[in-house]
Amino acid sequence: MSTLEDTPAMEGNCKIARPGFGKNEMYPCIDKNVTYGLAVTGLAVTGTVGKTSIEVDFRYEPNVRTGEMPVDVQANVTVTGLAPDGKYTLLRYVGTEALPQGPPFGLAHWSTSIQADARGKAYVSRTPAFKSNQAVYHITIAAEDYPHPHHERSQN
């Protein structure tokens, strides 16, 4: 990531970028003075159901790139598009290496059973904490597709 950073003066990575389509895509100009986040709108994981989204609420995210320590984060998870009153399992994986591409779903870092309401929506309030510098992935699957009991394991 450090090789992609530059300043608005464009004297680093972006120095050799040329204007125009097809000439600058390999030189992304990421301002080193700004912290970026991203939202994944879909994962390449088969066998999932519904649309799973998380919301986190904390006032300050430490800059771990400058030596600040990460903080614990809890999420509120909403799953929509489920069968009314259906039974499901919400899974959390930490890091892309742990995220399966599809069934069989290996041991998740955290899981819980959920049931959709009459409108096909499920909500989990204040999940167990994860670190602010971790990439976490939440997916929802049919309850019968996850043979492991409800559990939590170390995320380090």
Task: State the pairing for strand pair 30-31/5-6.
Answer: parallel
Mean pLDDT of the chain: 84
Residue 59: per-residue pLDDT: 79
pLDDT of residue 26 exceeding 80, the answer is no
Residue 130: per-residue pLDDT: 94
* CB hemisphere CA count around 122 (13 angstroms): 25
In the chain, domain spans = 1-34, 42-152
User: What Rg value do the Cα atoms of the chain yield, rounded?
Assistant: 19
